Amino acid sequence: MTRQHKALAVRSAKSHTPLKCSGHVSKEILMKGTLLGDIPVELPEEIFDTICLSENVKIERIVSRGHASPTGFWYDQEKSEFILIVQGSAGLKIESEPDIMVLKTGDYLNIGAHVKHRVEWTDPACDTIWLAVHY
Amino acid sequence: MTRQHKALAVRSAKSHTPLKCSGHVSKEILMKGTLLGDIPVELPEEIFDTICLSENVKIERIVSRGHASPTGFWYDQEKSEFILIVQGSAGLKIESEPDIMVLKTGDYLNIGAHVKHRVEWTDPACDTIWLAVHY
């Protein structure tokens, strides 16, 4: 691998375009980015950006600004999901639990496959940035 | 499942003990915790806490306080690793790259399997908290 190729292998993922980043593609591949940048001024809908995709795992950045799941909507996912609040706060309702679970910066939650849940609220005053690992 | 069992299923992982959290164990399992708490006053060595473990994925919290990899040591891992700096900053050296890569809060880096790397430095003035997804 030439120096030029190596330089290309380290690429910014600021645009958060889907990228195959498993070691199966190339053992040289490095992919760097930030979760805190590249957020539009207007955010009529939540943003879901796939920042890492392999056979077993999908890692997303999600940005919410006061958004919530539509009335009556429940996530019911084939895979387990690990979420981390990188910035902001959110209220999650798990169908089987009586109370809304409040998550703030640094909090994580693992949600098993087919555990029905919905986002009741996200902070209206700042962007809530989530990291979600689907596995 | 009784109400009592449901309450037990939602458990704090503040102690960061290894936990099988895949949907294969139980579709009811929820596991909540924080990356920012439960940090000892004295930190002679970095802390590596497995907070989520399944067949395909291991998710860790790492806490560093001015730590670096030992001289001459390189990580050379069987699996790919996605890292996120949740708090603090660090300098990573990738063997194949000329410069030290600086990562600060919110930055992520995907490191392919067998891409040799080492931690050159972490912030000496505050705890650097990493989320690492091995997949």
Q: Which tens digits make up the pLDDT trace of A43-55?
A: 999 999 999 999 9
Residue pLDDT, tens place only, A13-48 = 444 444 444 444 344 468 999 999 999 999 999 999
Residue A67 has which token pair? 């958004």
Residue pLDDT, tens place only, B16-56 = 444 444 444 344 468 999 999 999 999 999 999 999 999 99
β-sheet bridge partners, residue B30: A111, B10
Chain A residues 28-87 with CB within 8 Å of chain B: 28-37, 51-52, 54, 56-57, 59, 79-80, 82, 84, 86-87
The C-alpha of B71 sits at a distance from chain A's nearest C-alpha, in angstroms, of 23
Residue B86 has which token pair? 């949740």
Mean pLDDT in residue range A56-72: 97
β-sheet bridge partners, residue B37: none
Sheet holding A58-64, edge to edge: A47-53, A58-64, A128-134, A81-87, A107-111, B30-34, B10-12
Buried (b) or exposed (e) across A19-43, using 16+ Cβ within 10 A?
Answer: bebbbeeeebbbbbbbbbebeeeee
CB contact under 8 A, B82 and A27: no
Angle at B112 between CA A46 and CA A8, to 5 degrees: 80
The DSSP 8-state label assigned to residue B6 in this structure reads H
Residue of B nearest to A112 (CA): B23
The C-alpha of B89 sits at a distance from chain A's nearest C-alpha, in angstroms, of 13
Length of chain B: 135
β-sheet bridge partners, residue A107: B34
Amino acid, single-letter form, for residue B89:
S
pLDDT band for B120, please (50, 70, 90 cuts). Answer: very high
The pLDDT, as a whole number, for residue B23 is 40
Q: Is A73 exposed, middle or buried (0-12, 13-18, 19+ CB in 10 A)?
A: exposed
Helices (H), chain A: 3-9
CB count within 10 Å of CB B27 equals 13
Whether the complex's predicted ipTM is more than 0.85 is answered with no
CA dihedral (B91, A106, A35, A81) positive or negative = positive
